[in-house]
């Protein structure tokens, strides 16, 4: 085992030399042809053509209470039904990757449409029909479904950050401030709504349980499935080679994974379960709704003296995760006296969990709106206001930044966007019925490096194969790992194969938190360094003097093909990356800035986004095409959060009312303008051997605020309750504004 611990900054590496010329390039996806031809098997498509059974979930019909009885006699009498599983075998699955185990429901109903039974039949149609024949008798209890009621408030677990961060005496500093800003912003609950529904196929051979599932972090999935199925972890193998989107909802296991395993062990044949779209919305996880109070004390000339971001969010009983809306507020702007605090309001609704950019996606809707509002009150340009409050070190604990190009992102974006043409006065520019406005917002996403391992096997002909239990959720992991190995080893891309998504392979960081590419990629880097060391040893030269290109090693005046070095043998090494001192000695984050132009109809309140530009800096960009694509996705999602997305909770019973894609509105083609993304050149030597940082979640952070700020510039109307729907805008517009044309 070859291991590298990040205890100090990394100097120039083989990636910087660019000898092979593939790293960073926007090369096509390694698995692209398989996907467009329909040959890339997703979870539900495994065991095609084999004799399998099908499972269908019976959802609970109350919001909170107890199960008195389950009568499955009519369902079991239906021809083709193999079994009905209910009682203490039904687990309360967790989307939290660090959850120790799935919990049995023990006859309790924790939220509306919670799975209470599973029907297994020889066809999907029979299982679905039989599920309606299962009769469940309940004893309903009073539930808590409204965050604003604050019936039960508790301190959340320190996950994914410490819930309270303080420095100095904020209240005293705020009371003494020359200018006091105090506003509250609210965001609704959201759903990940990945294109691929949560689905699993399980097969039990009497000793070993194999599960093909859609899961972002495979190692934690093994433990959760084993606990739910009552089998030793060593006897569980999980596959997830292709995932049709996860966005956090697939970090841990969902009910389908555990229930398919239980089903296979019960009926003695493989069992397939694909959750319906309604099941996905009602029985997996969601983003918690938030109430965020922003208080900023400043001088009259625009210097921030103190900063507070206090947040209420929700989760269900037994779950300590909270939406960390203040995660960027800890480090983004100056302010000597600070308070970043979170409360968890317990509700009897579907559990909340991580959704793409947990914290930043909701928190920056509030903070970046607040910065814009305060700049407007002070009569200072929003970019100038942000730049004059740029901290030199992390303002929470004085830790130096590993790298930080926020100002460069804002300046480059302003130049490209034409910020100098922004209407100086809100509601001052019109085109017929349309009011035109510009807005901007900062973007940030904290960076993490996670332990991860990968194997590189060199075959006798000099071809390389990368193997790791890493997953690809559509972000381009296959391609990025191929590029890293090819650049390090001096191989053409078509001479590198990649195998992912199998827990029999070296354990990986998994996909989540924008740590995947850097963590898994760094493990490939370490493994490649070990291969190079082996080559150098066989050639009796120093590794640093060895140049690798096009499948040849070049040392001195010799050029030796890899096949000759390997001498008819294969070579296999495993590399592991671990976070070290640099994670504590520096503050690491990716940064960016969003710029938006909107047109708002003065008669109807309709908002149309005309232009959207994102400028980002995330260390070394490993693949320009996939990184840009990730940013497009973040921009589109930001449009949804600004204008459309809202998971509506019936506060009488906790039912998620709009539980499908017909009523949970996400942006469509007509909502999205031509998008523009610019990624600045940067190297963060403290972040990883690759000198890169996470980018997948950076691009969603702040987009909605930039849109909201543009809407204010267009109309003079501030909306602090997301989404910004037409009724909210019309309520703020003056009655005679349509006559002002």
38 exposure class (CB count in 10 Å sphere: 0-12, 13-18, 19+): exposed
Distance CA 222, CA 540 (A): 44
Whether 697 is catalytic: yes
- By C-alpha distance, which of 702, 669, 647 is closest to 191? 647
Distance CA 206, CA 226 (A): 14
DSSP annotation string for 336-401: SEEEEEEEEEE-SSSPB---SSTTHHHHHHHHHHHHHHHHHHHT--HHHHHHHT--SS-TTT-PPB
678 exposure class (CB count in 10 Å sphere: 0-12, 13-18, 19+): middle
The region that residue 204 occupies, defined by phi over 0 for left and psi between -120 and 50 for alpha, beta otherwise, is: beta
**Two tokens, residue 420:** 């100098």
- By C-alpha distance, which of 365, 362, 381 is closest to 442? 365
Q: Are 553 and 546 in contact (CB under 8 A)?
A: yes
545 exposure class (CB count in 10 Å sphere: 0-12, 13-18, 19+): exposed
Q: What is the dihedral of CA 210, 211, 212, 216, to 10 degrees?
A: -120
Q: Are 456 and 495 in contact (CB under 8 A)?
A: no
DSSP H or E run through 657: none
Count the Cβ atoms, other than its own, within 10 Å of residue 152: 12
> Residues with Cβ < 8 Å from 486, sequence gap 6 or more?
20, 22, 23, 464, 492, 493, 495, 496
Q: Are 713 and 438 in contact (CB under 8 A)?
A: yes
Distance CA 668, CA 188 (A): 20
Cα–Cα distances in Å, from 269 out to 130, 198, 525? 19, 21, 41
Three-state SS letters, 550-565:
CCEEEECCEEEEHHHH
Active-site pick, 31, 457, 597, 697:
697
**Coil, helix or strand at residue 587:** strand
> Residues with Cβ < 8 Å from 584, sequence gap 6 or more?
none
Phi, psi (deg, nearest 5) at residue 337: -105, 130
What residues are paired with 457 via a beta bridge? 465, 572
Three-state SS letters, 441-496:
EEEEEECCCCCEEEEEEECCCCCEEEECCCCCCCCCHHHHHHHHHHHHHCCCHHHE
Sheet containing 571-579, strands listed edge to edge, beginning at the edge strand earlier in sequence: 2-6, 571-579, 452-458, 464-467, 496-499
- By C-alpha distance, which of 5, 260, 226 is closest to 115? 260
Would you name the residues annotated as active-site residues? 697
């Amino acid at each position: 085992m070859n291991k590298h611990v990040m205890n100090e900054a990394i100097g120039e590496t083989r990636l910087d030399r660019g000898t092979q010329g593939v790293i960073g390039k926007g090369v096509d996806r390694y698995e692209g042809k398989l996907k467009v031809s329909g040959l890339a098997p997703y979870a539900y498509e495994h065991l095609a053509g084999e004799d399998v059974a099908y499972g269908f979930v019976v959802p609970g019909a109350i919001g909170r209470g107890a199960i008195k009885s389950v009568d499955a006699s009519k369902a079991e009498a239906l021809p083709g039904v193999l079994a009905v599983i209910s009682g203490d075998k039904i687990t309360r699955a967790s989307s939290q990757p660090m959850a120790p185990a799935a919990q049995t429901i023990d006859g309790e109903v924790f939220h509306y449409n919670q799975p209470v039974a599973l029907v297994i039949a020889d066809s999907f149609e029979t299982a679905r029909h039989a599920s309606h024949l299962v009769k469940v008798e309940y004893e309903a209890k009073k539930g808590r479904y409204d965050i604003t009621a604050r019936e039960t408030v508790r301190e959340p677990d320190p996950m994914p950050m410490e819930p309270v961060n303080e420095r100095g005496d904020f209240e005293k500093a705020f009371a003494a401030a020359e200018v006091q800003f105090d506003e509250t912003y609210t965001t609704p609950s959201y759903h990940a709504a990945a294109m691929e529904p949560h689905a699993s196929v399980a097969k039990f051979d009497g000793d070993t349980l194999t599960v093909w599932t859609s899961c972002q972090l495979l190692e934690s999935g093994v433990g959760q499935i084993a606990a739910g199925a009552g089998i030793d972890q060593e006897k569980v193998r999980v596959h997830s080679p292709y995932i049709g989107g996860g966005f956090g909802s697939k970090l841990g296991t969902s009910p389908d994974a555990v229930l398919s395993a239980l089903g296979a062990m019960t009926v003695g044949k493989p069992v397939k379960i694909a959750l319906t779209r309604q099941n996905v919305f009602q029985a997996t996880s969601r983003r918690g709704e938030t109430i965020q109070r922003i208080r900023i004390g400043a001088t009259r000339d625009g210097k921030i003296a103190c900063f507070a971001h206090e947040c209420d969010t929700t989760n269900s009983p037994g779950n300590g995760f909270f939406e960390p809306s203040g995660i960027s507020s800890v480090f983004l702007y100056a302010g000597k006296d600070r308070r970043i605090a979170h409360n968890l309001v317990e509700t009897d609704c579907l559990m909340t969990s991580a959704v793409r950019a947990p914290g930043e996606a909701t928190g920056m809707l509030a903070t970046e709106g607040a910065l814009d509002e305060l700049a407007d009150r002070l009569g200072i340009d929003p970019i100038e206001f942000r730049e004059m409050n740029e901290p030199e070190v992390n303002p929470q604990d004085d830790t130096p930044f590993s790298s930080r190009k926020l100002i460069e992102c804002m300046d480059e974006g302003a130049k490209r966007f034409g910020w100098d043409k922004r209407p100086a006065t809100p509601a001052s520019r019109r085109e017929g019925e349309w009011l035109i406005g510009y807005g901007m917002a900062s973007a940030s996403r904290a960076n993490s490096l996670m332990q991860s391992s990968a194997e590189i096997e060199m075959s006798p002909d000099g071809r390389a194969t990368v193997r790791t239990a890493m997953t690809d959720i559509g972000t381009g992991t296959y391609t990025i790992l191929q590029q890293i190995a090819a650049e390090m080893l001096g191989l053409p891309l078509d001479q590198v194969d990649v195998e992912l998504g199998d827990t029999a392979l070296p354990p990986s960081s998994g996909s989540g938190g924008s740590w995947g590419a850097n963590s898994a990629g760094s493990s490939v880097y370490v493994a490649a360094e070990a291969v190079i060391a082996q080559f150098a040893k066989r050639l009796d030269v120093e590794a640093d003097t060895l140049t690798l290109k096009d499948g040849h090693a070049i040392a001195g005046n010799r050029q030796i093909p890899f096949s000759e070095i390997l001498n008819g043998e294969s070579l296999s090494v495993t590399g592991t990356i671990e976070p070290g001192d640099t994670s504590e000695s520096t503050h690491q984050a990716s940064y960016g800035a969003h710029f938006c132009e909107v047109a708002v109809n003065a008669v109807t309140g309709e908002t149309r986004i005309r232009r959207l530009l994102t400028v980002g800096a995330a260390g070394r960009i490993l693949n320009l095409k996939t990184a840009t694509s990730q940013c497009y996705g973040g921009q589109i999602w930001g449009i949804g959060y600004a204008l459309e997305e809202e998971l509506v909770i019936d506060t009488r019973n906790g039912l998620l009312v709009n539980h499908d894609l017909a009523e949970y509105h996400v942006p469509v083609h007509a909502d999205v303008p031509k998008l523009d993304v610019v990624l600045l050149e940067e190297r963060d030597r403290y972040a990883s051997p690759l000198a890169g940082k996470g980018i997948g979640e950076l691009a969603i952070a702040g987009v909605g605020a930039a849109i909201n700020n543009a809407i204010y510039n267009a109309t003079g109307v501030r909306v602090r309750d997301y989404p910004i729907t037409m009724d909210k805008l019309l309520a703020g517009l003056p009655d005679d504004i349509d006559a002002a044309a």
